Amino acid sequence: MLKRGLTLREKILLLVCILIGLGIFYYQVIYKSFQNSMEAYDISNIQNQTVILQAQVARKKTMQQYLVDHKDDTYGELAMYNNLSKEIGELARIFEGIDNLSISWSDPTLLNKTVRRNANVSFSVVGYQKVVDLVKAIKNCKYRCLISDLSISTNRDRVLDDNSTVSVRIVITFFEMVDDNTNLEGLIILNN
C-alpha cells in the first residue's frame, strides 16, 4: 500500500471538492425543502382565495335576498305557441314613437315543452333615461321574455347624458309553451 502524504495542491483540490459537495448538499436538502415549505405555507394565495370566496358568498346572499323579495312578482304571461303576432304588437306598443327601429326574428326552437323565439332589436334614441325606460318596459312585457344581450353606444366620446344619441342593440327571448295538441310546424326541435 501506498503511504504517501497528500501534497498541498491535492489537499486544496480535496477541500474544494468537499466544499462543492457541501454546497450541493445544502442546496438540495436544506434550501430546496425550505423553499418548498415557504410555498406550501404562503398565505397570500389563501388570502386571495378567501377574498374571492367572500365576494361569492356576498353575491349569493344578494341574489337569494332578491329572490325572496321578488318571489311574488309576475314575469309576463306564458302564452301558447305561435303567439308571434301578439308579441309583435306588444313590442310595437313599447317602441311606439321610435323612428329608428329594426326588429329581426330568429326561428323558434322547442326544448322540452318550452318554445324560445329570439328578437334582435336595434334602435336609437336621444337620452340615456329613454333607454332605461324602454328596457324596463321590455322587462315588464305582457308576455314572458328574457333580455339576454344588451349593448349601448353613444355618438359622443363622453359619458352618456340626456343630450346624447344612444344606439342600442338588444336580444329579447320570448317564451311560449306547447301541449300535446299543439301543431309543431315551423319549430326547430332541440334534443335534451
Please report, for the chain, the start and end positions of each structural domain, with discontinuous segments joined by +: 79-189
Reported residue count of the chain is 192
Q: What is the pLDDT of residues 89-111, one digit of tens each?
A: 999 999 998 988 999 999 999 98
Report, as an integer, the average pLDDT of 41-57: 82
The C-alpha cell 334614441 sits at 125
What's the CATH fold of domain 79-189? Alpha-Beta Plaits (3.30.70)
CB atoms within 10 A of CB 39: 9
User: Quick one: what percent of the chain has pLDDT higher than 90?
Assistant: 33
Segment among 37-41, 94-98, 164-168 with least mean pLDDT: 37-41
Residue carrying the nine cell digits 333607454? 131
Most confident residue range from 49-63, 92-106, 156-170:
92-106
Dihedral sign from CA coordinates of 172, 177, 181, 184: positive
